[in-house]
Amino acid sequence: GNSVTQMEGPVTLSEEAFLTINCTYTATGYPSLFWYVQYPGEGLQLLLKATKADDKGSNKGFEATYRKETTSFHLEKGSVQVSDSAVYFCALSFGNEKLTFGTGTRLTIIP
Protein backbone atom coordinates (compact mmCIF):
# COMPACT_ATOMS: atom_id res chain seq x y z
CA GLY A 1 0.00 0.00 0.00
CA ASN A 2 0.91 3.66 -0.09
CA SER A 3 2.92 5.12 2.76
CA VAL A 4 4.70 8.30 3.84
CA THR A 5 7.80 8.38 6.02
CA GLN A 6 8.65 11.59 7.80
CA MET A 7 11.65 12.76 9.69
CA GLU A 8 11.00 12.08 13.33
CA GLY A 9 10.84 14.96 15.73
CA PRO A 10 10.71 16.91 17.73
CA VAL A 11 12.86 19.48 15.98
CA THR A 12 14.03 22.54 17.88
CA LEU A 13 15.71 25.45 16.09
CA SER A 14 16.69 28.99 16.86
CA GLU A 15 14.93 31.84 15.10
CA GLU A 16 16.35 32.57 11.63
CA ALA A 17 17.84 29.08 11.30
CA PHE A 18 17.45 27.01 8.12
CA LEU A 19 14.82 24.30 8.26
CA THR A 20 14.60 20.96 6.50
CA ILE A 21 12.00 18.32 7.30
CA ASN A 22 12.51 15.16 5.29
CA CYS A 23 9.64 13.28 3.68
CA THR A 24 9.78 10.21 1.44
CA TYR A 25 6.92 8.20 0.05
CA THR A 26 6.09 4.78 -1.33
CA ALA A 27 3.32 4.56 -3.88
CA THR A 28 2.30 2.80 -7.06
CA GLY A 29 2.20 5.52 -9.66
CA TYR A 30 2.67 9.25 -9.23
CA PRO A 31 0.63 10.77 -6.45
CA SER A 32 0.07 14.39 -5.56
CA LEU A 33 2.11 15.44 -2.54
CA PHE A 34 1.15 17.80 0.25
CA TRP A 35 2.46 19.45 3.37
CA TYR A 36 -0.18 20.23 5.99
CA VAL A 37 0.48 22.23 9.16
CA GLN A 38 -1.28 22.12 12.51
CA TYR A 39 -0.69 25.19 14.67
CA PRO A 40 -1.33 24.87 18.43
CA GLY A 41 -5.05 24.68 19.11
CA GLU A 42 -6.00 24.84 15.42
CA GLY A 43 -7.08 22.43 12.70
CA LEU A 44 -5.02 21.05 9.84
CA GLN A 45 -4.25 23.58 7.11
CA LEU A 46 -2.75 23.02 3.70
CA LEU A 47 0.70 24.60 3.55
CA LEU A 48 1.73 23.68 0.02
CA LYS A 49 1.36 21.00 -2.62
CA ALA A 50 2.83 19.63 -5.84
CA THR A 51 0.98 17.48 -8.33
CA LYS A 52 3.72 16.20 -10.66
CA ALA A 53 7.42 15.47 -10.78
CA ASP A 54 9.76 18.47 -10.50
CA ASP A 55 6.92 20.77 -9.41
CA LYS A 56 7.81 23.08 -6.56
CA GLY A 57 5.17 24.04 -4.06
CA SER A 58 5.69 27.18 -2.02
CA ASN A 59 3.86 29.23 0.58
CA LYS A 60 4.78 31.52 3.50
CA GLY A 61 8.49 31.12 2.72
CA PHE A 62 8.29 27.32 2.77
CA GLU A 63 9.20 25.28 -0.30
CA ALA A 64 9.16 21.62 -1.31
CA THR A 65 10.09 19.99 -4.63
CA TYR A 66 8.53 16.79 -5.92
CA ARG A 67 11.47 14.47 -6.65
CA LYS A 68 10.34 11.37 -8.50
CA GLU A 69 13.80 9.81 -8.65
CA THR A 70 14.22 9.86 -4.89
CA THR A 71 10.46 9.66 -4.08
CA SER A 72 10.90 12.63 -1.80
CA PHE A 73 9.16 15.91 -0.95
CA HIS A 74 11.36 17.59 1.66
CA LEU A 75 10.10 20.78 3.29
CA GLU A 76 12.53 23.72 3.54
CA LYS A 77 12.54 27.27 4.82
CA GLY A 78 15.50 29.60 4.76
CA SER A 79 14.82 31.52 7.96
CA VAL A 80 12.29 30.26 10.48
CA GLN A 81 10.28 32.39 12.87
CA VAL A 82 8.77 31.68 16.27
CA SER A 83 5.35 31.70 14.57
CA ASP A 84 6.37 28.65 12.50
CA SER A 85 6.21 26.48 15.62
CA ALA A 86 3.67 23.78 14.77
CA VAL A 87 3.31 20.14 13.74
CA TYR A 88 4.00 19.48 10.06
CA PHE A 89 2.51 16.54 8.16
CA CYS A 90 3.58 15.22 4.78
CA ALA A 91 0.83 13.46 2.82
CA LEU A 92 0.00 11.95 -0.55
CA SER A 93 -3.12 11.24 -2.55
CA PHE A 94 -4.25 10.17 -6.00
CA GLY A 95 -6.76 12.58 -7.49
CA ASN A 96 -9.09 13.64 -4.72
CA GLU A 97 -9.06 10.24 -3.09
CA LYS A 98 -8.04 9.73 0.53
CA LEU A 99 -4.92 11.32 1.97
CA THR A 100 -2.18 9.12 3.41
CA PHE A 101 -0.25 11.01 6.08
CA GLY A 102 3.12 10.67 7.73
CA THR A 103 3.37 10.66 11.51
CA GLY A 104 4.09 14.39 11.75
CA THR A 105 7.09 16.42 12.89
CA ARG A 106 6.77 18.82 15.80
CA LEU A 107 8.80 21.98 15.20
CA THR A 108 9.66 24.41 17.98
CA ILE A 109 11.42 27.69 17.23
CA ILE A 110 13.26 29.39 20.08
CA PRO A 111 13.63 33.19 20.03
Partner 1 sequence: DTGVSQDPRHKITKRGQNVTFRCDPISEHNRLYWYRQTLGQGPEFLTYFQNEAQLEKSRLLSDRFSAERPKGSFSTLEIQRTEQGDSAMYLCASSGRTSGGRVLETQYFGPGTRLLVL
Only one of the segments 19-27, 42-50, 59-67, 74-82 lies at the binding site for partner 1 (rule: CB under 8 A); that segment is: 42-50
Only one of the segments 21-29, 62-70, 78-86, 93-101 lies at the binding site for partner 1 (rule: CB under 8 A); that segment is: 93-101
Instruction: Give the residues across from 96 on adjacent strands.
Output: none
- Please report whether residue 27 would count as binding partner 1 according to CB under 8 A: no
Q: Which C-beta is closer to partner 1: that of 17 or that of 63?
A: 63
For residues 48 and 100, the answer to whether their CB atoms sit within 8 Å is no
Give the up-direction half-sphere exposure of residue 103: CA atoms within 13 A in the CB hemisphere: 6
Q: What is the CA radius of gyration of the chain?
A: 13
Q: By C-alpha distance, which of 37, 6, 10 is closest to 22?
A: 6
Q: Which residues bind partner 1 (CB under 8 A)?
A: 4, 6, 32, 34, 36, 42-46, 49, 51, 89, 91, 93, 95-104
